[in-house]
Amino acid sequence: VSDGTFSITTPIYYLNGTPHIGHAYTTIAADAAARWHRLRGREVRFLTGTDEHGQKVLEAAQKRGLSPKEHCDDLVVVWKAMMERFRIDYDRFIRTTDADHEALVQSALQQLYDRGEIYRDEYRGWYLIKDEVFVTDKEREERIATGELFESDFRMFEETNWFFRMSKYQQQLLDTLASRPDLVLPDNRRNEVLGFLSKPLGDLCISRPKSRMGWGIELPFDRDYVCYVWFDALLNYLTGNNRSLDGGPATPFWPATYQLLGKDILTTHAVYWTTMLMALGVELPQHLFAHGWWVSGDGQKMSKSRGNVIDVNLLADGFGVDATRVFLLREIKFGADGQFTYKGFLERYNADLANDLGNLAHRALSMSERWLGGAVPERQAPDPTLQALARKTWEAYTPALEALQFKEALEAVFDWVRAGNKFVDTAAPWALNKAGDTAKLASVMRDTLEMCAMAAALLLPIMPDKAGELLGKLGASPDSVKDWLARWSRGEDLVNVLLPSTKLTVGDPLFPRLHELPPAIAALFEAEPASAPAPKTQEKPVSETEIPLPELPWIEYDDFSKVQLRIGRVLEAQAHPNADKLVVMKVDLGEARPRTICAGIKAVFAPETLVGRTVVVVANLKPRMLRGVPSEGMILAAGGEVVTDLVSAQAKPGDTVR
């Protein structure tokens, strides 16, 4: 890309479900960067979209009884709506089912085939459906042993397939990583890639036989196969940026300036993608930036089966779109992991937005209205201390934002806002007004209004609506910001951009203070007592001295509330292959797939008598291997030394027990 161009991409999102906070996060980050560069007057390309082929999407469609294309056409609407709601201003939304993309993928495959970069071979291996990747036997065993994955997450495939000679590019990739230390960012991710490349790199299986999985782009040189979903998906970055492989017109948008991705898809980008580009003779992107993961407040990975996924629409309903955008980018360093809690969001909202920014804007506008006729006042010159601070803020903010360090950039803005409130406190315009010192009052109020203007300008890429609203109140507009930024970057005019005599509007506060969690969010905790921060029973604690306590290893209510008990129904039961006392059951917990649970009850229950029974299961007991069989939960049983019965209840699978 030339100097005046900025090209950014997000991963394309699997259409096997609806968007959550993690997807919104990558997209908002890319949007904020794109908006910033547009404001700086650069030609911007911002590409996002959806990943629609492969096993995972096919299975999601089958579950709904739809053809994969019908399923995708239906679901893509939800993704586009999320992006519209979050003010994602992309230049292209690519779908891997778009005709131009399918043509590009076929052209890439044909070129590689013609050059002998693709060959046919037998293949046998474990496929991890969730990630759409093959894994080694060792990796599979390890990930089951740690309880991260279950046996049912893998499929064994044994078939003839087509392979891309990825191994051929291992040294070239190592050399490139050495000569371009900022290709993979941040550094810890680059080291991870180097670690991966310290072992011999294999070739990449890039086909799927249609007889097994036909939802994909057909290989142009073998009609019995479709293209592997990752090989197809990664090429979207070329299609979506108009980078032709057939000698078409040149594009200013490739190589991309930044390609954003989550740390979970580092290898597919830093290794598969880069070597694919090398084989195709196409330039590598300038930077691959891997950001971290949002995890839930208890440190757990968010997933549908855990029921701890944060719904971004709920955040937008409760706190607003702009507050959500700011929170996600402000709360964790771009690159690092972070925990999401609603309470943390509420505190951040009140501190930064309601108190600091909202307050500064309100003070500046309402005092000018009351004492100075509600127009931008004239003044001799800006306060020099403020101008120096403004320069410092600009110098902290700009490089941070350009390096995608949103947290640092936002910290610089909120420091500036806090300095604004301090400036008002110290200058005490109310005293100046009382003393009738109109000249000094006008000067102080103008400086304060200018501080709001600079804050609004710097926040515009991050919170386009609220910053736009603030600019409007100051008699300016998002269009003015382009001009201001150009002047500021030339070193001119800090704290001096508003037009004297322009009308000001006080209006409603930008961010009303929230005294408690928004009702729809608070309701979540009532529906899910296990995760309630402060259970009702604790509101009026019974004094411990009033109850004579027998000696027991007492636990707190919070300890108990960590245990998730759920109703299950036994679907299948059989003797454990390697343990005399154990029965292995498949138990329906109302989840996407039944759990495998081992229980030491064979002495009392013949396995076949268990089928159809309703049981109570400890649903969040960490899974473990029991003599080679995974056990993903525990069944509650009653009795003394010997179990006499299983605990049961009249309820349906998935219901909670509390």
Residue 239 makes CB contacts below 8 A (sequence gap 6+) with 94, 98, 100, 101, 104, 105
3-state DSSP helix/strand/coil % of the chain, to nearest 5: 45, 20, 35
CB of 23: closest distance to ligand MSP in angstroms? 5
C-alpha torsion angle, residues 296, 302, 308, 311 (rounded to 10): 100
CB of 99: closest distance to ligand MSP in angstroms? 18
Residue type, 242: N
Q: Between 36 and 237, whose beta carbon lies closer to ligand MSP?
A: 237
13 sits near ligand MSP (criterion: CB under 6 A): yes
CB of 414: closest distance to ligand MSP in angstroms? 23
DSSP sequence for 159-209: EEEEEE-GGGGHHHHHHHHHH-TTSEESHHHHHHHHHHTTSPP--EE-EEE
14 sits near ligand MSP (criterion: CB under 6 A): yes
Q: Which two tokens stand for residue 525?
A: 């905790």
Q: Between 196 and 560, whose beta carbon lies closer to ligand MSP?
A: 196
Q: Which two tokens stand for residue 304?
A: 């549908």
Q: Applying CB under 6 A, which part among 18-26, 30-38, 134-142, 157-165 lies near ligand MSP?
A: 18-26
In sequence order, what are the beta bridge partners of 209? 225
Residue nearest to ligand MSP (CB): 262
Q: Which two tokens stand for residue 54?
A: 């492969």
Residue 301 makes CB contacts below 8 A (sequence gap 6+) with 293, 295
CB of 192: closest distance to ligand MSP in angstroms? 14
CB of 549: closest distance to ligand MSP in angstroms? 43
Count of residues in contact with ligand MSP, rule CB under 6 A: 19
Residues 614, 636: Cα–Cα separation, whole Å: 11
293 sits near ligand MSP (criterion: CB under 6 A): yes
Q: Which two tokens stand for residue 414?
A: 């909120």
Cβ atoms of 420 and 448 closer than 8 Å: yes
Interface residues for ligand MSP in 465-524 (CB under 6 A)?
none
CB of 207: closest distance to ligand MSP in angstroms? 18
Q: How many CB atoms lie within 10 A of CB 645?
A: 11
According to CB under 6 A, which one of 6, 7, 8, 22 is a site residue for ligand MSP? Answer: 22
26 sits near ligand MSP (criterion: CB under 6 A): yes
Interface residues for ligand MSP in 559-588 (CB under 6 A)?
none
3 state DSSP class of 595: strand
According to CB under 6 A, which one of 289, 294, 423, 488 is a site residue for ligand MSP? Answer: 294
Q: Between 173 and 310, whose beta carbon lies closer to ligand MSP?
A: 310
Kindly tell me the burial class for residue 5, based on how many C-beta atoms sit within 10 Å of its own C-beta (0-12, 13-18, 19 or more).
Answer: middle
**Closest Cα partner for 222 from 168, 160, 155, 129?**
160
CB of 261: closest distance to ligand MSP in angstroms? 5
Q: Between 134 and 294, whose beta carbon lies closer to ligand MSP?
A: 294
Give the CA angle between residues 69, 73, 76 to the nearest 5°.
125
Cα Rg of the chain (Å, integer) = 30
CB of 296: closest distance to ligand MSP in angstroms? 9
406 sits near ligand MSP (criterion: CB under 6 A): no
Site string (213-242) toward ligand MSP, x via CB under 6 A: --------------------xx-x------
Q: Between 345 and 511, whose beta carbon lies closer to ligand MSP?
A: 345
Q: How many CB atoms lie within 10 A of CB 476?
A: 24
CB of 214: closest distance to ligand MSP in angstroms? 19
403 sits near ligand MSP (criterion: CB under 6 A): no
Q: Which two tokens stand for residue 140?
A: 């599979």
Q: How many CB atoms lie within 10 A of CB 213?
A: 19
**Closest Cα partner for 47 from 33, 68, 60?**
33
CB of 77: closest distance to ligand MSP in angstroms? 16
Q: Between 50 and 614, whose beta carbon lies closer to ligand MSP?
A: 50
Q: Between 336 and 651, whose beta carbon lies closer to ligand MSP?
A: 336
CB of 262: closest distance to ligand MSP in angstroms? 1
According to CB under 6 A, which one of 194, 302, 634, 643 is a site residue for ligand MSP? Answer: 302
Q: Between 155 and 304, whose beta carbon lies closer to ligand MSP?
A: 304
Strands 222-227 and 207-209: antiparallel
Q: Applying CB under 6 A, which part among 22-30, 360-368, 553-561, 624-632 lies near ligand MSP?
A: 22-30
Interface residues for ligand MSP in 245-284 (CB under 6 A)?
261-262, 264-265
Angle, helix 55-63 to helix 68-85, in steps of 10 degrees: 100
Q: Applying CB under 6 A, which part among 23-31, 106-114, 248-256, 325-333 lies near ligand MSP?
A: 23-31
Interface residues for ligand MSP in 44-63 (CB under 6 A)?
51
CB of 265: closest distance to ligand MSP in angstroms? 5
Angle, helix 438-459 to helix 464-473, in steps of 10 degrees: 160
Q: Between 221 and 293, whose beta carbon lies closer to ligand MSP?
A: 293
Q: Between 355 and 531, whose beta carbon lies closer to ligand MSP?
A: 531
Q: Applying CB under 6 A, which part among 7-15, 384-392, 504-512, 649-657 lies near ligand MSP?
A: 7-15
Q: Applying CB under 6 A, which part among 8-16, 158-166, 403-411, 570-578 lies near ligand MSP?
A: 8-16
Q: Between 51 and 322, whose beta carbon lies closer to ligand MSP?
A: 51
Kindly tell me the burial class for residue 465, based on how many C-beta atoms sit within 10 Å of its own C-beta (0-12, 13-18, 19 or more).
Answer: middle
Residue 417 makes CB contacts below 8 A (sequence gap 6+) with 352, 356, 357, 360, 451, 455
Residues 185, 260: Cα–Cα separation, whole Å: 10
Q: Applying CB under 6 A, which part among 19-27, 77-85, 351-359, 616-624 lies near ligand MSP?
A: 19-27
Q: Applying CB under 6 A, which part among 5-13, 246-254, 361-369, 639-647 lies near ligand MSP?
A: 5-13
Q: Between 262 and 594, whose beta carbon lies closer to ligand MSP?
A: 262
Cβ atoms of 9 and 256 closer than 8 Å: yes
Q: H-type helices in 248-381, by residue range?
A: 266-267, 274-280, 312-319, 321-331, 342-348, 359-372
Q: Between 266 and 372, whose beta carbon lies closer to ligand MSP?
A: 266
According to CB under 6 A, which one of 1, 7, 8, 23 is a site residue for ligand MSP? Answer: 23
Q: Which residues here bind ligand MSP, judged by CB under 6 A?
A: 11-14, 22-23, 25-26, 51, 233-234, 236, 261-262, 264-265, 293-294, 302
